[in-house]
Each structure stands twice: as C-alpha cells, then as structure tokens.
Amino acid sequence: MLSLVDIRSRIEAGTLTPAGAIQLCREAIAARDPTVRALVSVLAEPVVSEAGPLAGIAVGVKDIIDTADLPTQMGSSIYAGWQPKGDAAVVMRLKALGAVALAKTTTSPFASIDPTGTTNPHDAGHTPGGSSAGSAAAVGAGMLPLALGTQTGGSVIRPASFCGVAAIKPSFRLLPTVGVKTFSWALDTLGLFGAGVRDVAHALALLADRPAIDLRDGEPGSPRIGLVLQDFAGAADRLAMEALDRARRAAESAGATVIDLALPDQLAQAWARHAIIQDFEGRQALAWEYANHREALTERVGRQLDAAQNLSAAQYDDARRHAHHARRALKDLFSDYDALLTYSAPGPAPQGLGSTGDPRFNRLWTLMGVPCVNVPVPGAGLPVGVQVIARFGDDGRALAAARLIEVALSRV
C-alpha cells in the first residue's frame, strides 16, 4: 500500500517530487482500478502544489462529498452528472494543505445500505464493505495513500476492516460536514482511510489543525484497555474472535493492561435505538428525493424510507434520551480506562457483492460520537481488523493506543 507518511518523507528528503508522487498514484489506478472498480471519476490534469504539508498526496473523496473539479453523484442516478460549484469544507482544507483531490470514490446511494460495484482488493469475489466502499478499497489496493469516507452506522470502520487498512472515525464534528450529503445530522461523521495508523493520525492532525493528535516517537506508556465483546450485538465469527485475541495479547506484550469489560445496560439500550435516530432523520434529509424521485431510488433505500415514514417524534425523542444516558455512562466508564478494544466487524468480508456486511459492532460508537480506529490484524486469508475506542474528544489517545497495538502486532 502507499503510505502517506512514507511519501512525505521521500518528498522532504528530495528523492521524490510532489508531481512524481501523484504520478505513482495514477499508474496504480491504471493497473488496479479496472478490477477493483473503486473510483467514479479521476482528474485528467490535476494541479499539483509544490508547497504544503500534504503536497504530493493524492486523496480519494467519497462521492457524497462536494468537489468543484469533479461531479458529485451520490451513488444515485438522480444526481448523474451533477457538478457542484464549490468544494466541501474538508476538500478545501485538503487543498490548502497542498493535497490533490484526485478521484471520487464509489459510495452506496446516499451512503446507505446498498452495495456498489466495487470489489474487495484482496479477493474480487468478496465485498469491500460500505458505504465508503471505494475509499477503503482504493487505499487497500494501493491506488491512493489517503481517502475520505463517512460513517452513519459503520461505513468507515467496517470497510477498513474488510480491506485491511487503517481508518479513523473521529469524534463527532471534529471534521466539518459542510458540503457533505446528509443522511443523519446526529450521526454522520467524516472519516479517513490510510495504509497505517500513523498515516491517518498525521492527516487528521493537519485537517483538524490539532497537532497534538499526531503521533510522536517515544514511549507509548502503559494504557489501561477495556476488552469489550458487545454481547448485546450478537456473536462474532471465529476469525474475528481470533483477531481480537491476537490484538489483546499484542497490547499486553507492549505494556498495556487489558481487562475484560461488560458495558453498562444503558449502552445496550442506546444501541438498540440507533436505527430510529438514523431513519427518522434520513426521511427528512432525503425528503426531496423521496417525494420527487421515489421510482429512481434503489429497492433497499426505498424500503428503508418507506418504513421510516411511520416513525414518530415520540420514538425519536425516546431514542435520543437513551443515547444521552448512554453517553453519560460511557463518560463515567472512561474514568477507569484509557481506551476500549472490540471488534471492527463480525468477521472477514462476506463472499459476493450483494451485501456490504453487518455494521452491528459499529453502530453504538457512532451514536456515542467517540473516536474509533481500525487496526488491521495480520494473518492469512482475508483481512480482519480490531477497533480501538477512546472518550469523546480524545482522538489522540485512541490513535496512540491503536498505534501501540499495530506495532506490537508487527512483532509477534
């Protein structure tokens, strides 16, 4: 895979130019994308900056995020060929840092539950996940060193796990969603995909203008980590359980204290109500499309919005109250732990392209608004990742704990 940190190191050392780095990505795209099908469109003649901390970094932008130079088509025929007049706030920030928004990546329609035509870069017969399918697959295939995705349920962490890449879903609203198609304003969160934890940490620190998020060399410390199985969400398969156990042992070998932890019932209650908040807001966010283009919606999105019409404000308010109580309980829990360690997905990517996989191990953390990092666990066969979670606003701690596990896994 292409590493953002490595590319920037080569540029700073004078062994690679920004234009040369972009060309490497273009060559990788030409070689891999005919099979992976992760990209919707690619800039024909990108303007490459020679200045800025992300100069030479080609970025994939999920196709629900506005770009002035490429169409934003939402994964839907309703928006075929639609060209925004301006960039989303996060794309403007990337450009200000010297990066090139080189390509738009595939998305489920309106970042929903439908699969795309994208294949898993490790086995074309398996899903890459979704809804940020193209972003995860493009990084996993070595076509791009950085890509933007969004998560409303599990659309960053799950595809990262399936595609074997690092990713972060930051704390809610750490990155601006201005210029991003809304599905649920209480849940939608921008996320980042990269080759490794250092890559997403460096990119997030720059995008959020928070240098403390970046990882520094030095002693990782001895974090207290709670091992969470999320039994209320159902069981994971054998490979996911083995990956979690390997991550636990790696963390302990690096000096962490890992303690089995059962989550308070308030969190299980909130998890069960995630879909109410998502769909109640989704029916309003997509009200124009539903009213004027119901026949053009995919079957799954159409059925999802049909069912959402029956949700009441009382149900929505109840779900939000449960989420509030759960956030308070989680805040109390983090007084005893630096981070949590849990599944990123129920197992490796399912076979076939008819599903994006199950987000059941991601929904709670999206609803809680806390930072989540996927750490790939090396092994034979299709990739499987684990998820590291920290308290709201403590993205740097989540990344540091994830990096500790990532390094320890590389040594065992």
Domain assignment of residue 298, yes or no:
no
Residues 92 and 177 placed together within one structural domain of the fold = yes
Dihedral-angle region of residue 316 (phi above 0 means left; psi in -120 to 50 means alpha; beta otherwise): alpha
Do residues 343 and 377 lie in contact, with contact meaning Cβ atoms separated by under 8 Å? no
Residues 200 and 336 grouped into a single domain: no
According to DSSP H, which parts of 43-156 are helical?
89-96, 133-140
**Dihedral angle at the C-alpha atoms of 236, 160, 78, 177, nearest 10 degrees?**
110
Band of residue 324 on the pLDDT scale cut at 50, 70, 90? very high
Contact 170, 361 (CB under 8 A): no
Domain boundary residue, one of 213, 236, 251: 213
> Are residues 106 and 8 part of one domain?
yes
Q: How far apart are CA 282 and CA 276, in angstroms?
A: 10
Look at the block and give the residue holding tokens 């994964």: 75
pLDDT at 220 exceeding the cut of 90: no
Measured distance CA(133)–CA(379) in Å, rounded: 22
Mean pLDDT along residues 130-149:
98
pLDDT band at 380 (very low <50, low <70, confident <90, very high): confident
Q: Are 122 and 162 part of one and the same domain?
A: yes
Q: Are residues 252 and 163 in the same domain?
A: no
Q: Are strands 224-228 and 257-261 parallel, antiparallel or unpaired?
A: parallel
Closest to 205 measured CA to CA, from 61, 396, 11, 390: 396
Model confidence at 217: pLDDT above 60: no
- 331 and 260 in a common domain: yes
Reduced to 3 states (helix: H, G, I; strand: E, B; else coil), residue 285 is helix
Shared-domain flag, residues 92 and 238? no
**How far is Cα of residue 30 from the mean position of the Cα atoms in its chain?**
24
Residue 258 domain flag? yes
Identify whether 278 is part of a domain. Answer: no
- 181: CB partners within 8 A, 6+ apart: 64, 65, 72, 74, 110, 111
Phi, psi of 121 (to 5 degrees): -65, -15
User: Is 244 part of a structural domain of the chain?
Assistant: yes
Give percent above pLDDT 90 in the chain. Answer: 98
pLDDT digits (tens, 9 = 90+) for 45-65: 999 999 999 999 999 999 999
pLDDT tens across 402-411, in order? 999 999 999 9
Number of domains in the chain: 2
- Looking at 186, 213, 240, which one is the last position of a domain? 213
3-state secondary structure of 15: coil
What mean pLDDT do residues 137-163 have? Answer: 98
Give the distance from CA 117 to its chain's centroid: 19
Domain that holds residue 27: 4-213
55 and 110 in one domain?
yes
Q: Are residues 236 and 370 in the same domain?
A: yes
What's 246's domain CATH number?
A: 3.90.1300.10
For position 275, what pLDDT does the model report?
98
Q: How much is the pLDDT for 221?
A: 79
Residue 279 lies in a domain: no
pTM exceeding the 0.95 threshold for the entire prediction: yes
Residue type, 12: E
| In the predicted structure, residue 216 carries a pLDDT above the cut 80 | no
Task: Using only the alpha carbons of the chain, give its radius of gyration.
Answer: 20
From 213, 247, 277, the end of a domain falls on 213
Largest CA distance in the chain: 61
SS3 226: strand
The reply to whether 87 and 190 lie within a common domain is yes
Task: Tell me which residue of 23, 24, 175 sits closest to 94, measured CA to CA.
Answer: 175
295 in a structural domain: no
283 against 216, higher pLDDT: 283
Q: Nearest Cα to 268, choosing from 322, 220, 309?
A: 322
User: Do the domain assignments include residue 297?
Assistant: no
Is pLDDT of 36 > 90? yes
Q: In degrees, to the nearest 5, what angle opens at C-alpha 395 toward C-alphas 393 and 397?
A: 110
Write the pLDDT tens digit of every residue in 160-189. Answer: 999 999 999 999 999 999 999 999 999 999
**Is residue 17 domain-shared with residue 157, that is, in the same domain?**
yes
User: What is the overall mean pLDDT for the chain?
Assistant: 97
Q: Are strands 166-169 and 372-377 parallel, antiparallel or unpaired?
A: antiparallel
Do residues 188 and 333 both lie within one domain? no
Instruction: Evaluate whether residue 327 is within a structural domain.
Output: yes
